[in-house]
Chain A
């Protein structure tokens, strides 16, 4: 009797919970639900971030011990490096002065600088490697929505586009990746200079759409960011073509490209923030 009652209450709770989550799904674009989502995010992220920091304290402690041991050797190397930097700085100050003089002489405006914010990936979904992730920098670091997020490949000193910021909170931001099916990136085929669109497939591949049938596209062609992109800088390498679908009954060709960042195990990303002069 007791077990049956317990089962019945379990069924009632199940129906209530499914109804609540179903209503969340139905009202997914409404304002109250966005508030609920932000509330859940803020509470869970802050709580988990604090716990994560507590775990990382152990890691920091071992780092301190290691750094104490290597301190002497590092000091010698830093002294040499410091001297080199001082020399470079002197050159830089002279060059900067010369540059400013030339600008004022030619009556030209200063080139807009871009601030790089280095962020660590704090949260990534287990099945969402190609969909979205959360970084540990937010509004307090000057980030806002629609900023480009890139990853640095130290092997060939190249930056690869990874995604853009879609939600910004005080100390964290959500990044949607270029491989997410909801993301589209204007790209250019480097060899032929044709502009087309790269759609994400929730995998390491991008579907390159709207390639004219007359275009000469070959396997292995490099895909770069197009000048039509309003988020990324023109010319940043994105990936390589690995497959081309061509049919005489279709107006456009479709290609499949593999993204470059797939080959790097990245835990840190760079966000480019346009520097605003005060």
Chain B
């Protein structure tokens, strides 16, 4: 039950309320932060399943290739689960490093998909200014979100 509530609240925050939260069309990727939190604190299986489900939801709401986000978030969940118990997820430095790496991998992976599937040469192998600002926003949102998730005891 708690997991369903968590899923709903996260989706609401990301898709329904992001238009109110965003500043100058910059909105953090709460889904990515949550998946990494789950991976670091709960392990591989929960993180990858949650990543797949959240990615599938994102795919359903977007105009892009169906399954792309599901795959990206599953991969992110898997690799964050791999470093479970190797780092202390309560440390802000760990959060900054892991979220930055995951965000960059996620953005580059998405751009690679665009390149392979849509022949879109505009954003291949580099990050746009908007991507970089979004990554920064995601990184700065991570510590409070990690703290809240820790307090909730997910």
Chain A contacts to B: CB under 8 angstroms: 6-7, 9-11, 13-14, 17-18, 20-25, 28, 33, 36-37, 40-41, 44-45, 47-48, 51-52, 55, 121-132, 134, 166, 174, 176, 180-182, 201-203, 267
Smallest CB-CB A-B distances: 9 pairs = A24-B67, A10-B44, A21-B71, A132-B63, A21-B70, A41-B60, A25-B67, A126-B27, A129-B25
From known contacts A131-B63, A132-B63, infer whether A126 and B14 are also in contact, taking CB-CB under 8 Å: yes
Q: Does B120 lie within 8 Å of A181, measured CB to CB?
A: yes
Q: A13-B48, A40-B57 are in contact. List 20 more A-B contacts (CB 8 A).
A: A10-B43, A10-B81, A11-B44, A13-B44, A14-B48, A17-B49, A21-B52, A24-B66, A37-B59, A48-B11, A51-B9, A51-B12, A125-B62, A127-B130, A127-B134, A129-B22, A131-B62, A132-B62, A132-B63, A181-B122
Q: Does B12 lie within 8 Å of A25, measured CB to CB?
A: no
Q: Complex formed: what's the CA distance from A125 to B22 in Å?
A: 11
Q: Does B44 lie within 8 Å of A202, measured CB to CB?
A: no
Q: Does A37 lie within 8 Å of B60, measured CB to CB?
A: yes
A45 contact set on B, CB distance < 8 A: 60-61
Residue of B nearest to A266 (CB): B19
From the candidates B18, B66, B74, name the one contacting A17 in the complex (CB within 8 A).
B74
From the candidates B28, B44, B130, name the one contacting A14 in the complex (CB within 8 A).
B44
Most buried by B among A13, A23, A125: A125
Chain B contacts to A: CB under 8 angstroms: 8-9, 11-12, 14-16, 18-20, 22, 25, 27-30, 43-45, 48-49, 52, 55-68, 70-71, 74-75, 78, 81, 113, 117-118, 120, 122-123, 128, 130-131, 134
Q: Is chain B's interface secondary structure helix, strand, loop, or mixed overall? A: helix
B43 contact set on A, CB distance < 8 A: 6, 10
A130 contact set on B, CB distance < 8 A: 25
